[in-house]
Structure 1
Amino acid sequence: MITKLGVASVYVHDYDEAKAFFVDKLGFEVRHDVELDDGFRWLTVGPPAQPTFQFALTVPGPPMHDDETATMLRTLMAKGVLSGGAWNTDDCAKTYAEYSARGVEFLQEPTTRPYGVEAVFRDVSGNWYSLNEVNETAFDQEAMSQAFGDAGTG
C-alpha cells in the first residue's frame, strides 16, 4: 500500500537557475544535488516544513529523453502550459506578499475559493503552481460537490 508521495518532478530549462529560484525565492532547501555516472543530474529541493519530500528539478534531455522528446517538453514549457502542482501555505496573502517582494511572477493574486484562498505563480521555466491556504471544507467531498455543482463527481 502506498503511504505518501516522496518525490515529484518538474521540467526546468536550467538546473542552476531553477535551484536558485526554489531556494532563494521560495525558501526551499536543497535535498540532493549530485551528478550520476551517466551524466544525469539528480537535483531535488523541498520546503523546510516537509523534510522527507523531494521535488526533482529535471532538464529535458539525455539520458532520460531522446532529442525529439526533449524538444517537445521544452516547447510545452515555453508555452507555459505545464503545472508543477499546488503548494499549501498557512497564509496565502502573507506568502504572496513575501514572494512578490522576492520577484516571483504571479498570474493571479490571492482569491477566495470554496476550498480556501488561492494565488497562482510561475517559476523561471514557465511552469505554473497554485498556492493554497486551504479551509476546513477543502477535503470535504460533499461540501466541494455543493460548491462546484456536482461537476466531475460520480
Structure 2
Amino acid sequence: MINKVAKVTVYVNNQDEAKKFWTEKLNFVTKIDATEGPLRWIEVAPQESEWVTIVLYDKNLMKSQYPSANVDYKTVILSTENLDNAYNEMKSKGVEVTDIVTMPYARLFTFKDQDNNEYLLREDKF
C-alpha cells in the first residue's frame, strides 16, 4: 500500500522568508522553486539526496483555493545525529530554541521558524 513518506507541507505567510529560514538558518537545500500562475511551489530538504521534502506553501493561497483547509500547523519531528551541534548552530543563527530535554527514547528540543511554527528536533538512539 503506502511505502514511504514523500512530502510534509508547512503553510507559511511569506515563502521567501520561509525559504531563507530553512536554507540559511538550517542549512537545507532548495530542491524545487517553481512558479506557475499564482502558485509558487518550494520544496526544501536537509540534503540534495533526501527523498522526503518540506513543501513551503503559501498559507493565504491555500485558504483561497480551499476555504475549508486546515492551515493550522501540525507537529513535524526532524532528526539529527548530533543534537548539541545542531542546537548550538541554530542558536548562533538566532533561531528560537527551547532547552534540550532527555527522554527515555531520545534527546530533543523544539525550535520555531519565521512564522512561529514549532518543530521538534531529536537525536534518536537506536
Q: Is the 8 A contact 1:9 1:84 kept in 2?
A: no
Change over 3 Å in CA distance of 1:114–1:50 after alignment to 2: farther
Q: 1:86 maps to which residue?
A: 77
Q: 1:16 maps to which residue?
A: 16
Q: Is the 8 A contact 1:10 1:84 kept in 2?
A: no
Structure 1-normalised TM-score? 0.73
Q: 1:123 maps to which residue?
A: 113
Separation in 2, partners of 1:17, 1:84: 20
Runs of 4+ in structure 1 over 2 Å off = 64-70
Change over 3 Å in CA distance of 1:32–1:49 after alignment to 2: closer
RMSD of Structure 2 on Structure 1 (CA): 2.1
Separation in 2, partners of 1:28, 1:20: 10
Q: Deviations over 1:32-73 (max 9, x none)?
A: 001124x111111011175222210011233x3328949x84
Separation in 1, partners of 2:20, 2:109: 21
Aligned-pair CA distance for 1:22: 0.1
Equivalent residue runs for 1:2-151 within 5 Å: 2-37=2-37, 39-48=38-47, 51-62=50-61, 64-66=62-64, 69=67, 73=71, 76=72, 82-106=73-97, 108-136=98-126
* Aligned AA (1:135): K
Identity among equivalent pairs (%): 29
Which has the larger displacement, 13-22 or 48-57? Answer: 48-57
Separation in 1, partners of 2:67, 2:48: 34
Separation in 1, partners of 2:54, 2:77: 12
Structure with bigger RCO (C-alpha 8 Å, 6+ apart): 2
Q: Is the 8 A contact 2:13 2:60 kept in 1?
A: no
Structure 1: state its 5+ residue gaps: 77-81, 137-154
